[in-house]
A and B are shown apart, each in its own frame.
Chain A
Amino acid sequence: MSFGRIWVLLLFVALAAYPFLPLAEANRGEQFTVLFIYAILALGLNVVMGYAGLLHLGIAAFFGIGAYTVGILTVPFLPFQQSFLVAALAAVAASAAVGIAVTAPILRLRGDYFALVTLGLGLITLYAIRNLDAITEGTKGMNPIEAGPVPGIPDTVDMSPLRLRPDWGFRWYKYPYLYFLSLGTLALVMLLLRNLEKSRLGRAWVALREDELASACMGLNPARLKLAAVALGAGLAGLAGAFYAMALRTTGNPQAYDFTLSIIMVCCVILGGLGNRSGVLLGTFILMGFDRIITNILDNELQALQQRLDLNWGGQAYTKVSGWKLMIFGTVLILMMRFRPEGLLPEARHQRELHPEVGEAQGEAAAQREAGETPSENA
């Protein structure tokens, strides 16, 4: 196994060990949990964009539908009050169903039109959430969301005796449960997608992405293949939304599910490597990690530095790293597109197309390997 593949495994092991390390902090753990959730969302988007080759600009809508499904099914002021497991399954089903219902009529549209419809869906969903006060509480968000994990298991299992440091906070017992659950789910999603890529369906998506007409001539049903990709992508996004609402204990402001999130997710997928699972994981961890964790650390460091040097810059946005966040985002993306358009960890096919010389070498090596295994008169 090469390093390119083993690093993902090492990363998961390290993250699973993190809560037990002396340097672990409850807050950091909660931030990591949100990263795992965004990674599930990005992997869902990658099914639609990377595998099936459809530009999807409204993935946040399904994230929102997932979060609000959990909200509706668990908050105390509505009559349902289900456990998280039930709510999460319902969230996946609801998102996939909306994905299918919205996409089915537009399957014959190609290219830009599909992107436009998904863009519109994202906006409509956001406005619907904002204005359906009676169900969604409008801009206040639904809270508190405090369902137990599975029916019958209380959500307040006190794991405090297990903690290695006393200052991990009174919520420590709660965060590893969501932490491990999100991490485990992310790992499962990665495994599922790995198998999917190698399946008949996975290869059919690649062919469809390459050439729709030729695929039809080969006996592939383009409409059904696209629908499968959209449904799976939406389902994963809904799952991520369900975890998100649980992790935050509220659906939060509907703003969290707007167009910006859709675009940032597109950036994560492209930065990491369109179509490459590990790349998408890395891209999400880098972009969202920078957004959610690193800027905060840098802000604090900068603040401390100012105090030590006795400077008073005031609280203006331009004196904080977070104020420059979008500028840094944009610059990085422009530089990426210029120097490494295939992403940090490119999908093998992409790499071979954009850098034929590398691809040829890989191809030759593969041919020689195959020739070694099955000697043939022509090789």
Chain B
Amino acid sequence: MSAASPLLVVENLEAGYGPINVLHRLSLTVHVGEIVTIIGANGAGKTTTLNTICGLVKARTGRIVFNGHDLTQLPPHNIVRLGLAQSPEGRKIFPRLTVRENLEMGAYTRTDPEGVAADIQKWYKMFPILEKRKSQLGGLLSGGEQQMLAIARALMARPKLLLLDEPSLGLAPQVVVQIFAVIQELNRQGVSVLLVEQNARMALKIAHRGYVLETGRITGTDRADLLLHDPRIRQAYLGE
């Protein structure tokens, strides 16, 4: 497994808001082609981890290296250009842009109009509902459709690594199943994924490896299928 090269390496990361440190010496790795998930309770620092990686929160100490580039001091718009795209928590689609315009905004960093148009068609194929709704305002989509739009929009930047923040948030169980199937399909097509999720069971089912985050510290990491059967995890995060 370690034959795969590391795409993202986070070492001893500390970050937080005001006087409070949220992340304490956090380290993790994502290899090319992997789905890696971070599971943890509310307030454990999952979103802060993703936001620090993509530059929305400044790292205090530690290092974030992505594909050979040091991201630690870069602003978010430069990080996107390096091939790391985030689908943020709460989806954050542009409510008054149409579905198609939302997708076009996702490709803001790109300068190849033909490639962008081709990619839009590609993701329409993958998410047929988006094509049906392409001229509607993003804000009028259902929650599940918005989540698909948010993922497709992030993919428009042609990222090497996709950061997904709580894609199951506020969605009906059946829709969650659909979304996770999509994530798995994307991964099969070659997109590496770092997935933050409260729905630990679903996340561990599709992930290759998992990290357990508790109050800003990584307290465990293993292959996802092993974590799924770890009695400690089952008790704490899977409600058994």
Within 8 A of B (CB), among A210-227: 210-211, 213-221
The closest CB in chain B to the CB of A369 belongs to: B135
Q: How far is the CA of A77 from the CA of B75 in the complex (A)?
A: 51
The closest CB in chain A to the CB of B137 belongs to: A352
Residues A210 and B94 in contact in the complex (CB < 8 Å), given A217-B86, A219-B76: yes
Binds B, one of A22-30, A54-62, A153-161, A200-208: A200-208
Residues A217 and B97 in contact in the complex (CB < 8 Å), given A203-B104, A367-B135, A370-B135: no
Within 8 A of B (CB), among A170-226: 200, 203-204, 206-207, 210-211, 213-221
Q: How far is the CB of B157 from chain A (nearest CB, A)?
A: 6
Q: How far is the CA of A203 from the CA of B97 in the complex (A)?
A: 9
Structural contact, A363 and B108, CB atoms closer than 8 A: no
Max chain A C-beta neighbours (<10 A), residue from B106, B135, B157: B135
The closest CB in chain A to the CB of B94 belongs to: A210
Q: How many residues of A contact B (CB 8 A)?
A: 31
Q: Does A2 contact B (CB under 8 A)?
A: no
A363: B residues at CB distance < 8 A: 98, 135-137
Structural contact, B124 and A349, CB atoms closer than 8 A: no
Q: How many residues of B contact A (CB 8 A)?
A: 38
Q: Does A378 contact B (CB under 8 A)?
A: yes
Q: Does B62 contact A (CB under 8 A)?
A: no
Structural contact, B88 and A217, CB atoms closer than 8 A: yes
Q: How far is the CB of A32 from chain B (nearest CB, A)?
A: 35
Q: How far is the CA of A219 from the CA of B55 in the complex (A)?
A: 11
Structural contact, A217 and B137, CB atoms closer than 8 A: no
Structural contact, B80 and A217, CB atoms closer than 8 A: yes
Max chain B C-beta neighbours (<10 A), residue from A353, A366, A367: A367
Within 8 A of A (CB), among B126-140: 128, 131-132, 134-137, 139-140
Structural contact, B101 and A217, CB atoms closer than 8 A: no
B95: A residues at CB distance < 8 A: 210-211, 353
Q: Does A379 contact B (CB under 8 A)?
A: yes
The closest CB in chain B to the CB of A207 belongs to: B105
B77: A residues at CB distance < 8 A: 216, 219-221
Q: How far is the CB of B49 from chain A (nearest CB, A)?
A: 15
Q: How far is the CA of A217 from the CA of B104 in the complex (A)?
A: 13
Structural contact, A349 and B96, CB atoms closer than 8 A: yes
A213: B residues at CB distance < 8 A: 56, 88, 92
Q: Is the interface of A mostly helix, strand, loop or mixed?
A: helix
Structural contact, A214 and B94, CB atoms closer than 8 A: yes
Structural contact, B94 and A211, CB atoms closer than 8 A: yes
Q: How far is the CA of A363 from the CA of B128 in the complex (A)?
A: 17
A219: B residues at CB distance < 8 A: 76-77, 80-81, 108-109, 157
Q: Does A356 contact B (CB under 8 A)?
A: yes
Structural contact, B97 and A210, CB atoms closer than 8 A: yes
Q: How far is the CA of A366 from the CA of B134 in the complex (A)?
A: 10
Max chain B C-beta neighbours (<10 A), residue from A215, A216, A219: A219
Q: How far is the CB of A92 from chain B (nearest CB, A)?
A: 28
Q: Does B212 contact A (CB under 8 A)?
A: no
Mark each residue of chain A from 43 to 57: 1 if its CB lies under 8 Å from any CB of chain B, else 0: 000000000000000
Q: How far is the CA of A379 from the CA of B132 in the complex (A)?
A: 6
Q: Contact partner of B106 among A210, A218, A350, A364, CB < 8 A?
A: A218
Q: How far is the CB of A256 from chain B (nearest CB, A)?
A: 36
Q: Does B161 contact A (CB under 8 A)?
A: no
Residues A216 and B96 in contact in the complex (CB < 8 Å), given A207-B105, A363-B136: no
- 21 A-B pairs within 8 Å (CB atoms) are namely A207-B97, A210-B96, A213-B88, A216-B56, A216-B77, A217-B88, A217-B92, A218-B80, A218-B106, A219-B77, A219-B108, A353-B95, A353-B139, A360-B136, A363-B135, A363-B136, A364-B135, A367-B136, A376-B124, A376-B131, A378-B128
Shortest Cβ-Cβ A-B pairs, 3 listed: A219-B80, A214-B92, A219-B109
Residue positions of B touching A, CB distance < 8 A: 54-56, 75-77, 80-81, 85-88, 92-98, 101, 104-106, 108-109, 124, 128, 131-132, 134-137, 139-140, 153-154, 157
Residue positions of A touching B, CB distance < 8 A: 200, 203-204, 206-207, 210-211, 213-221, 349-350, 352-353, 356, 359-360, 363-364, 366-367, 370, 376, 378-379
For the complex with contacts A221-B75, A363-B98, 14 further pairs of A-B residues with Cβ separation under 8 Å are: A203-B101, A207-B105, A211-B93, A214-B94, A217-B87, A217-B92, A218-B108, A218-B109, A219-B157, A220-B77, A353-B95, A353-B137, A366-B135, A379-B131
